Structure 1
């Protein structure tokens, strides 16, 4: 059932604040505050993305096949699908905030705007919030593998706004209060639709660039036969085991948005208010007047809010029983708690969870590992530069740029690179005994005009570092031409004189070099470029306007 949300009416607290603004502010005050808060909104949403992605990549979702899938693997798959579903919607929220800002004639700033270090507060969050896993109220979110404690941190991020809470854009307790402040600014007497027509609507991030689900958000509801074809809509299967299509769960619903589509280009006050509603409803739940947020983010009740999604995952952990976590009156805790309950130790033992360090920094990795980690951060930063560049790409070319740039960087580079480096054990130093994880640091690529050259420099250092480690273990397998490597496969045992562990590590390091090549220098058999696009020409053209 595809029923879109209606724009939420102002609460009494919001109405009172709008009246105060109309009485004591000026048009210039409102415009300046709105632009500042929209940039903050971009940074709030951006801050959550590395956090959710880090936990997502700590999970191993393909250790068991569909026919023999265990309860633990089912949980890992569900947790992974839900985490990615939330990360996808956070990217949507960042894009919506950026589109509003663009419509006001301001280029959104993403490059270098992710958190400077972890654990991190969210921008302008009240430093004391809902109780966390240690019984304290400090809101400092780490990069960490999946655990009961990490999910508790996620609940701190997505904590629902209470009915009639006061709008706050500084020292806010919930993200809903922050967006409530923006909603109030949008409803003042000082703004006109023309204020949201200063950036070309055709140059905004367009609706066709967003899909609520992808292969990483989907998870199975139970055991399934992976070889059984998807049936026609009218067919039924007599077999005892369902096919993959029947078992697939899509956590993001089609009607989980306000307005005509989830991602919209902005041209009016109502468009801006609609975008803000989508952000709030997906995170905290669709509001119920005079009560509070519902557990769902859409009228058809097909998708749970981010808060309830995380609460449902947390409830499966053994630590959940008897927890003293402070919750709002809505939504209630889940009742479908699985038995036996999950523990991180069991997930690690089953090799469904990678033991990555908490809040790692590249400088604390051993020699050579540093450059491998820094290239991952450089890819993340270049992805942010490419997101900004979308606004400079001619509208007719935006879809191609998005597919060749953003999709390739997220799906074929960053995703595969992180899955590769998490196979590298750390032999010494602060993280000895763990496996590598991404650091998502604000490494500098230089100015945007030369960002691809900066990315290439990080890539060349990563290649050199991987080759240095390969040379340490098996000098015959050093890679000289990463741009022409064949697609990597599974590691296999080599000559008897080379230990299996070393052989597997060398294969992983070769894969590191391969994905660097995909990013900066990979070409096809016809010598056509297959690497990420150089955004420099777009920024050069913008400077000449």
Structure 2
């Protein structure tokens, strides 16, 4: 096995912070697609998107537990935490960027690319050269600004490799890797997703279990349809919408044979892709509504930061808050942008830094 790229606790903490950025970066696109659906339509697509959004919150929480366990501090209010969309994720692929847009074939294709099972063919391929212009990259391999991981799965494998290396190094030196305050751990009673439980992290075994749950829920186990808890992986939840049919036990990955499901591609609001505040005239109702949403989303991230840094009981409220944003989102989505025929407004997720505890 090649030497790990993560050889210090500080590097491990940076990787885990990047993992939190990665998990969060999918939430605005998933919520935007979810609430772009006309009320009372597309129930199958709505359910799939909602379940996946909830489980991305679980993944964010699992990474926070690992970061806390090694003495790091999760901070979702940092100026660089939210990407500027379209954004490339640190998964190594060069063929797509993630955007905030309505539920459509293009957005579904992007979601499948985010979650797709990919394993590098060999050790040398785990890192790939990647150069993009004009689009924000969330993170790079530490010490190699032009390198990206082949896949999200490989990114998490590198973190696990670093954990194992540092645990061995610390043990040999008579030191501890897992020095974080146990009171910062999110326990199962503080979060319910319906698909997987929070893993409190206290040692190497629980840290690796938390990271593997993230990978398995996203892409499946070794490309299989179901994760270890017999729940459909995100990739295959989205594939159902593409195929127009549910998976059932015994199905092959590319051949669902369950009951049919209907997708109404036109039953969505025609949102402006990657809308920004600059798209709404200053002083207009849309501009005011966009500012109000951004303030509410900043409050949501501040609440999560507090939950992850010593007030875990707040996470119960945080999960509910994510879906309470619906009213503010739809206040924008239901309204056309003046001067842009056929295009509706959308939340912009442009946040000013928020001081925790202020």
TM (normalized to structure 1)? 0.55
Partner of 1:309: 237
- Structure 1 residue 447 corresponds to structure 2 residue 358: no
Hey, what's the Cα distance between the residues in 1 that align with 2:255 and 2:86? 27
Residue in structure 1 matching 2:22, options 17, 21, 44: 44
Secondary structure of the corresponding residue to residue 171 of structure 1: strand
Match of 1:98 among 64, 70, 77: 64
Alignment equivalent of 1:59, drawn from 11, 33, 37: 37
The residue number in structure 1 matching 2:132 is none
The change in CA–CA distance for 1:165 and 1:43 in structure 2 (over 3 A counts) is: farther
Superposition pairs for residues 91-490 of structure 1, below 5 Å? 91-111=57-77, 112-122=79-89, 124-126=90-92, 128=94, 137=95, 139-162=96-119, 166=123, 167-168=126-127, 169=141, 170-188=147-165, 189-192=168-171, 195-213=176-194, 252=195, 256=196, 262-287=197-222, 293-299=223-229, 301=230, 303-316=231-244, 331-335=253-257, 338=260, 342=263, 344-345=265-266, 347=267, 353-367=268-282, 368=284, 369-393=286-310, 398-399=312-313, 401-403=314-316, 405-407=317-319, 409-412=321-324, 414-428=325-339, 431-441=340-350, 443-448=351-356
Give distance in 1, aligned partners of 2:122 and 2:190.
34
Q: Which has the higher contact order (CA 8 A, sep 6+)?
A: 2
Contact 1:376-1:417 within 8 A present in 2 as well: yes
> Tell me, which stretches of 5 or more residues in structure 2 are unaligned?
128-140, 142-146, 246-251
5+ residue gaps, structure 1, are: 1-15, 63-72, 129-136, 214-251, 257-261, 288-292, 318-329, 348-352, 449-534, 537-545
Q: Summarize the Cα distance change of 1:209–1:47 in structure 2 as closer, same or farther, 3 Å threshold.
A: same
The 1:195/1:380 distance shift into structure 2, 3 A limit, reads farther
Contact 2:334 2:345 (8 Å CA) reproduced:
yes
* 1:299-339 deviation per Cα after TM superposition (whole angstroms, max 9, x unaligned): 5x3x211111111112239xxxxxxxxxxxx8324345848
Give the C-alpha shift of residue 375 in structure 1.
1.9
**1:281 Cα deviation from its structure 2 partner:** 0.5
Deviation digits for residues 364-393 of structure 1 (CA, Å, limit 9, x no counterpart): 113322231122122112211111112444
Instruction: Tell me the number of residue pairs that the alignment of Structure 1 and Structure 2 aligns.
Output: 325
How far is 1:205 from its partner? 2.2
Counterparts of 1:155 and 1:392, CA distance in 2 = 32
TM-score, length of structure 2 as denominator length: 0.82
In structure 1, what is the equivalent of residue 135 of structure 2? none
Give the drift of 1:206.
2.4
Query: What is the RMSD of the two structures over their aligned residues, measured on CA atoms?
Result: 2.6
Post-superposition shift, 1:127? 5.0
Please state how far the C-alpha of 1:447 moved relative to its aligned partner: 2.9
- Contact 2:30/2:49, CA 8 A, preserved across alignment: yes
Please say which structure displays the higher CA radius of gyration: 1
Q: Secondary structure at the match of 1:152?
A: helix
Is residue 206–residue 265 contact of structure 1 (8 Å, CA) maintained in 2? Answer: yes
